[in-house]
Every structure is written in structure tokens, then in C-alpha cells.
Amino acid sequence: MAKKIKIDNDLYLKLAQRAAETGYTDAGEFIVDLLEKAVAGQEADRDRDAAIEKLKGLGYLG
């Protein structure tokens, strides 16, 4: 189910311009791609942090 969010008009225009410059079909596709990458990055950071804590707990890291 698609959801709608409000984006400041100036920001939307910047995103639409960047989308056109980088070959996206529209601003919506570009925004979704940005959000997916941001969430994936946060998940990777969380996984890395958990691995570091586990290695510390096992005595491999100080």
C-alpha cells in the first residue's frame, strides 16, 4: 500500500532536478531509492556494531 508524505516544495524541486540529472524516471523513484539506501545503510551499521560487541565479548577486541 502506497503512503504519501509531505516534502517542502523547494526540497522536492531539488530532488526532482537531481532525479532528472541521474536518469531516474521521476522524483518519486529517486526518493524511494534514496530512502531504501539510507535504511540499508543503517541496518549495515547496526549489524557491524553488533559484530564488534560480540567480538569484544569474546575477547578478540579490546
Secondary structure of 31-52 in the HEC alphabet? HHHHHHHHHHHHHHHHHHHHHH
pTM exceeding the 0.85 threshold for the entire prediction = no
Q: Using the predicted structure, report yes or no on whether residue 1 has a pLDDT greater than 90.
A: no
Q: Using the predicted structure, report yes or no on whether residue 39 has a pLDDT greater than 90.
A: yes
Phi, psi of 18 (to 5 degrees): -65, -40
Q: Mean pLDDT over residues 36-48, rounded?
A: 91
Q: Using the predicted structure, report yes or no on whether residue 11 has a pLDDT greater than 80.
A: yes
Q: Mean pLDDT over residues 27-48, rounded?
A: 92
Q: Which amino acid, one-letter code, is at 5?
A: I
CA dist 5 and 59 (Å) reads: 46
Q: Using the predicted structure, report yes or no on whether residue 16 has a pLDDT greater than 90.
A: yes
